[in-house]
Each structure stands twice: as structure tokens, then as C-alpha cells.
Structure 1
Amino acid sequence: MRAGTLTRSGVVRFPILARMARPSGATSHAGGDRQASARLPRMADSSFDIVSKVDHQEADNALNQARKEVEQRYDFKGTGASIEWSGDAILIKANTEERAKAVLDVFQTKLIKRGISLKSLETGEPVAGGKEYRITSTLKDGISQENAKKIGKIIRDEGPKSVKSQIQGDELRVQSKSRDDLQEVQRLLKAADLDVDLQFVNYR
């Protein structure tokens, strides 16, 4: 028991305990929580880029393999069949349309084995010239504006609402606070009927 003070009249008086003062600048628990929350940084968006790139070294390897096979196969003997680079294009020649298409088939098979999608190969129709047929193909690098708009529309109309996309040249940037929603966009685009080979890169 706290000691009191004896007065002259014999009465013992006990001092009133002072309420402990709150330290200067202190706030209530609720107020402190609000201030702490305000100081927390906002969760940054996660993102990835949608690109369409061709490994040109692998494409060159596929062409070289196709050329060797065409030179060695008996059914191409005497047909004038060949495949070679013509600038940035692939030029196929043969003395019949059927043989020219057969060379193209060999090249396409080599591309697939090298991990290059046939969506990246744009091929023209066989063209007759003199005694030979020619087929010209090109490799598509980058996403065209038309396809970029299609991709953006799919994301906007069918993807999670938290996801935003933006066309950046021949690529698209996709952002969301939810990584699960970004994964959903990838599943959505893989299942879409697009004539372009897509890769998802630069995860952040």
C-alpha cells in the first residue's frame, strides 16, 4: 500500500495518482494503423512482353539441312530442285510445281525440328518462269499492327479486368497486380486462333 502523509489533525492523506500522460506525438492504435498503412508502398504491377521473334541462326541451320537433304535424295535428282537464301527471303526452285512444293515441305519439317513455328514462315504461291517453278518465303519478325490490335482486343474483351495491355512498336506490354491474371492471359492467347507465333518474355 502506498504511504500517505500524516496531517496535523492526525488524518492520513493519500496522494491522488496522476493519470499517465501520453507521450508527445503519440496517436491512438487505430490512428497509428492508418498512418502506417499510408506509409506502405503500393504494390507494383507485374508485367511481361508479348513478342514474335525468329531465331535466325536456327532458321539458317534448318535451310542448310534442307539443302543437304534435297541434294542427296533420289527423288530430287534431275529436277533442278534447290533451296537458298535470296537476301532475307528463302528461294525454292524446281522444274515442276510438285517438286518445288516437296522442297518446301522438307524445309518446313526442318524448321519445326529447330523449334521454329510455321506461323513465322510466310510463303507465296508457286510462280512459273521458263522451265522452272519458284516459291519465295520470308520469315516474319515482330507483331504487325493488325495482329497487335487483335491481341489487345482479345485481352480487353476476354481477359481478366485487372489486366492492361499497350502496343509498343512490334510488341505488347501486359500489366496487372495479379500474376495469376497474367498467367490467364497467356493461356487465353495460346488458345486463340492467331496467325502469328507469340512468345512471352521479360517478366517483371
Structure 2
Amino acid sequence: MVVVRRGPTKSVATYSLQLFHLLETVAARDRYAEGMADSSFDVVSKIDSMEVENAINQARKEVEQRYDFKGVGADISLSGETILIKANTEERANAVLDVLQSKFIKRSLSLKSLETGEPYPSGKEYRIESKLKEGIDQATAKKLNKLIRDEGPKSVKSQIQGDELRVSSKSRDDLQATMALLKGADIDVALQFVNYR
């Protein structure tokens, strides 16, 4: 028995036309990728002031309510960019600092954003000053730039822009690898990645 196929058959011309359209689509995609702008992100070191105030208020409330801080004159205050901790002994001042640091961690604030000094006597009390650090200084920016150049993917470019660092590449995967590299770096500054595009 012979089976006869009915219906339209495609000619060689039809196949060559489809192949032409496919190749044209691939070429257009490649032209678009070549002319495409680099993807980029900014590396910054910023502190959310509302979260800092919330952490300080929670620490102050805990210090006021805890039994071991009763009658020791323990207090936490924020003035500008300086957090001042007071207590009547050095040990109590350090304990208040521990409470503050635990509240920073619970609010997802990095302890690298605090520059804490040693306890010092002031009259009948001990004080600890802790300054909030924001921005990437030039030395740290150069260190990050060198780290990206030496250990990062080769297609990644970085550029210092004031107190930030702009990182760009054509490959988003390379940018993700650079973010992972910077997260694992031993830097004394809390880093955030913003404006990812």
C-alpha cells in the first residue's frame, strides 16, 4: 500500500527564506548587544539615620528597664554624628555599649559604621563616644579599586566618584561576582550596593 501525503510542500526557496530571516534576527540581536550600554552599580557606605535612632531608642529603653542598670546613671544619647554613652563605672559603660551594639545588629546596621573610642572618666562617670562613619574615604576607595582590578573579572571597570565607587561591565554575571568579592573583602567600612542597572 502506498501512502500519499496531501497538503502543501515546502520548497527549497521557502526554507532558504526562513533561514535568511533567522540569520537576520540573530545578527540584529548581536548588533543590539554590541551597542548596549554597560550594566553598573555603585558601592557606597551610608547609614539609615532612622534605623540608628530606632536602635538607640531600643537600647535606651532596655537600659532603663534592666535591673542591673538601676542606679548606675547609665544613659545613651545621640548628638549629630556622635553617640554618647554614660555610666558610673567603666564596666557598666561597656555593658551599655554591648546593649547598643546588639540593637544595631538586630536592626541590620553594620558595626563597621561605628567608630568607638575607649571609656574615659569625666567627673564621677565614665563616657564612651562612638562616631557614625559614612562615605568611602579615598584610601579605602583606592584599595577597593585595586582589589577589583587584581582579583575581579577582567571585563569589570571601576571608577572613584567622590565618596562612592562606580563599577560597570557588559556582563551582569561579572557584576554579581564583583559584589561577592567586595562582600568578602576585609574592609573597615560597611558597604552597600545601590543603583544596580
Q: What is the aligned partner in structure 2 of residue 25 from structure 1?
A: none
User: Normalised by the size of structure 1, how large is the TM-score?
Assistant: 0.79
- Identity, % of aligned pairs? 73
Q: Does 1:117 align with 2:115?
A: no
Instruction: Give the total of aligned pairs.
Output: 170
Q: 1:191 aligns with which of 174, 177, 184?
A: 184
Q: Hey, which of these two has a bigger chunk of helix by percent?
A: 2
Deviation at 1:85, TM superposition (A): 1.2
Q: What is the aligned partner in structure 1 of residue 60 from structure 2?
A: 67
Q: Distance in 1 between matches of 2:80 and 2:133?
A: 14
Q: Distance in 1 between matches of 2:79 and 2:179?
A: 36
Aligned residue for 2:47, secondary structure, equals coil
Which residues of 2 match residues 169-180 of structure 1 at below 5 A?
169-180=162-173
Q: Does 1:81 align with 2:81?
A: no
Q: Distance in 2 between matches of 1:43 and 1:80?
A: 62
Q: Distance in 2 between matches of 1:197 and 1:67?
A: 24
Q: 1:168 aligns with which of 139, 144, 161?
A: 161
Q: Does 1:182 align with 2:175?
A: yes
Aligned residue for 1:156, secondary structure, equals helix
Q: 1:44 aligns with which of 37, 40, 47?
A: 37
Structure 1 residues not aligned, in runs of 5+? 1-28
Amino acid paired to 2:172: R
Q: Distance in 2 between matches of 1:164 and 1:200?
A: 15
Q: 1:93 aligns with which of 63, 82, 86?
A: 86
Q: Distance in 2 between matches of 1:87 and 1:158?
A: 38
Q: Distance in 2 between matches of 1:157 and 1:141?
A: 26
Aligned residue for 2:105, secondary structure, equals helix
Q: What is the aligned partner in structure 2 of residue 155 from structure 1?
A: 148
Aligned residue for 1:80, secondary structure, equals coil
Deviation at 1:77, TM superposition (A): 1.2
Q: What is the aligned partner in structure 2 of residue 133 from structure 1?
A: 126
Aligned residue for 1:115, secondary structure, equals coil
Deviation at 1:120, TM superposition (A): 0.8
Deviation at 1:43, TM superposition (A): 2.6
Q: Distance in 2 between matches of 1:171 and 1:138?
A: 20
Deviation at 1:195, TM superposition (A): 1.1
Aligned residue for 2:99, secondary structure, equals helix
Amino acid paired to 1:98: E
Q: Which of structure 1's runs of 4+ aligned residues deviate more than 3 A?
A: none
User: Normalised by the size of structure 2, how large is the TM-score?
Assistant: 0.82
Structure 2 residues not aligned, in runs of 5+? 1-19
CA displacement, residues 150-202 of structure 1 (integer Å, 9 cap, x when unaligned): 11110011011111000111110001111111111011111111111111111
Q: What is the aligned partner in structure 2 of residue 16 from structure 1?
A: none
Farther off after superposition, 104-113 or 80-89: 80-89
Amino acid paired to 1:113: K
